[in-house]
Amino acid sequence: MPMGKSRISKRSSSSSNSYASTATTLVFLALCVLGVWMLSSNSVTPPETTTRNTITRKEPQTTTNTKSNLPAFEDNPGDLPDDAIKSDDEVNDINGGKSQQDQKVAILPEISKDSIVDNGGDAIITDKQESSAEDLHGKESTEEQEKQKESENQNTEESSFTQNQRIEEITSEESKQTSNNNEESEQNRVSEENNVENQKPNENIQMPDELDQEKSLQQQLKEDESRENTQESQYNEDQQQQPKDVEMSNIEEKPETQPQKAYQDESQQSQAGNQETQQKEDNKEEGNTESNKGTESNTVETFPAVENTVIPKESKESKKSWATQATQSANEKERRKDKSSGNEGMYETTWQLCNVTAGPDFIPCLDNEKAVKKLRSTKHFEHRERHCPEEGPTCLVPVPEGYKKPIEWPKSRDKIWYHNVPHTKLAEVKGHQNWVKVTGEFLTFPGGGTQFIHGALHYIDFVQQSVPAISWGKQTRVILDVGCGVASFGGYLFDRNVIAMSFAPKDEHEAQVQFALERGIPAISAVMGSQRLQFPSRVFDVVHCARCRVPWHADDGLHLLELNRVLRPGGYFVWSATPVYQKLPEDVEIWKAMSSLTASMCWELVTIKKDKLNSVGAAIYRKPTTNNCYNQRKHKRPPMCKEDDDPNAAWYVPLQACMHPVPVDNAERGTKWPEPWPRRVQTPPYWLNSSQMGIYGKPSPQDFATDHEHWKRVVSKSYLTSLGISWSNVRNVMDMRAVYGGFAAALKDLPVWVMNVVNIDSPDTLPIIFERGLFGIYHDWCESFSTYPRTYDLLHADHLFSRLKKRCKLAPVMAEVDRIVRPGGKLIVRDESSIFREVENLLKSLHWEVHVTISKNQEGLLSAQKGDWRPDTYVDSS
């Protein structure tokens, strides 16, 4: 029965019984005064205080006396739905273990739309409404209340007193709601607000009973009918609104851990009296869903409330101030637009295993055999470059037989499970150089390399002793390691606070980059071929090559000139190779060619040093910081690049045998060296102009600082504590849509590294990320990433999928996410709630465990964990 109708029928019956005669009325008024006096003398107690913003109580399931005259939601829950009844265990848990009989509960005069929260079957009444100051005598049992109701129609003095007391409560309730001009009611509201501010934990609220004795009961009852009609209408609206709001989410809750407290955004913390936000912060019940009229809130509190951590929207105006790789790269590939039918949110995907030669090591853009067969030439290693299929594959990569959970860092630097990367060829070919060895069920890495057989740390110290200005971990923070092998050089640079972007091709050195990533060392599959590396210009502090097998002197220095493009002015090139220290005819010839080329490029040969322990040598060059040498060259070879050639364009841009001038304007990037590490990570780059609008609409330096502080709060208050992620198991992290690199910067004190990906259609902020002492790469997520399967522990996607969906379908993208993430790995998605249904459905079809929360401002947070599931069938090869 609707609550409004129930009240009308109850009070109509009461009026007819109470005022049948004038004599009864006179007795009734006399008893009213007596009842008030008795209540005032026996019931007035100091109000108990609490800091809890919700009063949650057990609603007894009564099957008799359905026409009770007591107002609903007081002692009697009235005709509530079955799912609004809480168990004893839940009530005891919320009330700190106290039984219901021990709790003092406030009477609320009206249940508005803001007062009911659908909590997965829990009835929760908030103190957001202004409740009247009435004493409930909460220790009376349900049976005693029912007896009182049944005896109300008797003409005895005792029943009259009970009826008078009840009508008195109703009178106070209605008076509180409608009589804003009543001075006594105003005092009650002020008293209640003061009590809320002074509340103590784990106690419910009891208000003093202050009633207006001189209020005309006759006048009040005349207004009952109109008020009850209004309440009925409001309640019906509320009941219609709640299921609609709850249905919006369609969220399945599978929490990993007990939810943690949601942290508050500064702007929301400053809103005094925002008790709805306080309720979210204090409510630690699983699956709490808020459905308030006037908001679009629909939150399953698997994690903290998302609206409190949402960064400001990206400014449309700011896009005019920032270039993108899509516009910078002249021959950027045209993307196939998404021709969706409108039913893309519902997937009935039948996943199958990829039927490819590469098997468990499949990289779609590097193992495209059809495209490779059509190449006219492989002279510049074109067959090792990216050749992506027109449509991203929607098949899944199989897992090697015997695959185990990866060994945690730092032990993984020394050994990995053999069955995770079951390749022995490199151990057979390079084992004597201490690259990798097979040791039982492990592949072990002694830390050596072709040029540092006796260990990478000794070699790293040798380089700094040769040129002290390199100053590992202070002046030098971000380096590029060309032809990295198993990346032991980069792996041990972590001990010097240096991060290395290591890369090598997917070639006959079987799975070398896969070894690196399995060890927890950053690396990508790439080659010095016919196209530019996917990095901006002037970003690496040092470039390193130790027997990297790149013919630097060939093709007019085409590849060395590419290193010149990405090397910071004043940065160093460390070349450790046989031409430096051996006198074989071939080596001598290469050395002469290199000497001529580097001189014409105006690189200064700083030193040539020999490492006696490893019996190797290294030549260390430095890039100029001015254009004086360029202007003074006689032969002008290699030539300077044309003025319209953008040095930052790097997405599918062919290599050119030319040089870009060094910037000379003090406000231009590259004229000054970055701040020493770690200060540079939080310092806005000097070349960020205050007159330029940042990504979020503020001046660029202020925008940078806001982003930095935002991600510090999000990571510390939410990601590290409330997502159920065991960060000791996390080593390799990717930010799939980095802006300023704030997410990576917030993780800098953890033993993790972050690959920051700047999308080609996003503002080109990758130079800022490098300037901070972090690293990253350009990429288009409509294509496959250049990494091996099962190589990342955690992917982070901030407002990626809602933007990506405009250009390509999400099914291939989610298949790529599944390919990259290790079994047991995580995905964190922050995005518009409109995209969550599709993402969630795709992940569930992949048998990922998914947890979602949607906030009232239609921003959402999704956390998912990959399982071990793989399909049983393969894609038909035909």
pLDDT band at residue 508 under the 50/70/90 scheme: confident
- pLDDT for residue 284 is more than 60: no
Which pairing describes strands 478-482 and 540-546: parallel, antiparallel, or unpaired? parallel
Q: What is the pTM of this model?
A: 0.67
User: What proportion of the chain, given as a percentage, has pLDDT over 70?
Assistant: 63
Cα 583 to Cα 823: distance, rounded to the nearest angstrom: 50
Residue 639: both structure tokens together: 């030539």
Rounding to the nearest 10 degrees, give the CA dihedral for residues 178, 183, 187, 192. Answer: 0
| Number of helices followed by number of strands (H, E) in the chain | 27, 20
Burial class (CB in 10 A: 0-12, 13-18, 19+), 100: middle
The two three-digit tokens of residue 518, written as one number = 């399995």
Give the residue from 310, 773, 97, 877 showing the smallest Cα distance to 500: 773
| Rounded average pLDDT over 386-412 | 96
Q: How many CA atoms lie within 13 A of 802 on its CB side?
A: 14
Consecutive H or E run containing 606: strand 604-611
Are the C-beta atoms of 864 and 255 separated by less than 8 Å? no
pLDDT digits over 716-735, tens only? 999 999 898 999 999 999 99
pLDDT for 763 beyond 90: yes
Sheet holding 478-482: strands in order across? Answer: 523-525, 499-504, 478-482, 540-546, 567-576, 616-622, 604-611
Residues with Cβ within 8 Å of 734's Cβ and at least 6 positions away in sequence, in order, are 754, 755, 757, 792, 794, 795, 796, 820
- CA of residue 599 relative to chain centroid, distance: 48
Q: Specify the pLDDT at position 21.
A: 57
SS3 state of residue 634: coil
CB 762 within 8 A of CB 341: no
The CA-CA-CA angle for residues 120, 123, 127, to 5°, reads: 125
Mean of pLDDT over the chain:
75
The helix (run of H) or strand (run of E) holding residue 796 is: strand 792-798
> Crossing angle, helix 224-249 and helix 157-178, to 10 degrees?
70
With 90 as the cut, is the pLDDT of residue 325 above it?
no
Q: Where are the alpha helices (DSSP H) in 482-550?
A: 488-493, 512-518
Residue 25's pLDDT is: 74
pLDDT greater than 80 at residue 706: yes
HEC assignment per residue over 716-758: HHHHHHHCCCCHHHCCEEEECCCCCCHHHHHCCCCCCEEEEEE
**In angstroms, rounded to a whole number, what is the distance separating the alpha carbons of residues 192 and 134?**
11
Measured at the CA of 186, the angle between CA 180 and CA 191, to 5 degrees, comes to 150
Give the residues across from 525 on adjacent strands.
Answer: 504
Q: Which residues pair with 861 in a beta bridge?
A: 830, 853
Least confident interval from 48-52, 759-763, 786-790, 806-810: 48-52
The Cα–Cα gap between 762 and 740 comes to: 11
Distance of CA 385 to the CA centre of its chain: 32
The two three-digit tokens of residue 582, written as one number:
């051996």
Q: Are 132 and 207 in contact (CB under 8 A)?
A: yes
Nearest residue to 303 via CA among 865, 855, 876: 855
Alpha-carbon gap, residue 115 to 137, rounded angstroms:
22
More confident residue, 144 or 572: 572
What is the rounded average pLDDT of the residues 115-134?
38
Pair of tokens at residue 536: 């901006």
Q: Is 481 left (phi over 0), alpha (psi -120 to 50) or beta?
A: beta
The pLDDT-based confidence of 270 (bands split at 50, 70, 90) is: very low
Residues 793 and 817: their CA atoms lie apart, in Å, by 11
Distances (CA, A) of 460 to 123, 517, 611, 789: 64, 21, 11, 30
N-term to C-term CA, the chain:
64
Q: How many CA atoms lie within 13 A of 709 on its CB side?
A: 8
pLDDT of amino acid 832: 92
| pLDDT grade for 785, boundaries at 50, 70 and 90 | very high
Mean pLDDT of the region 460-478: 97
pLDDT in the model for residue 305:
43
Q: How far apart are CA 59 and CA 76, in angstroms?
A: 7
Residue 812, both tokens: 């291939």
The residue with greater pLDDT, 237 or 740, is 740
Closest CA to 275 of 97, 47, 55, 86: 55
When mean pLDDT is compared across 78-82, 468-472, 563-567, the lowest value belongs to 78-82
State mean pLDDT over 571-577. Answer: 98
The values of phi and psi at residue 203, to 5°, are -130, 140
CA–CA–CA angle 676, 477, 716 (5° rounding)? 80
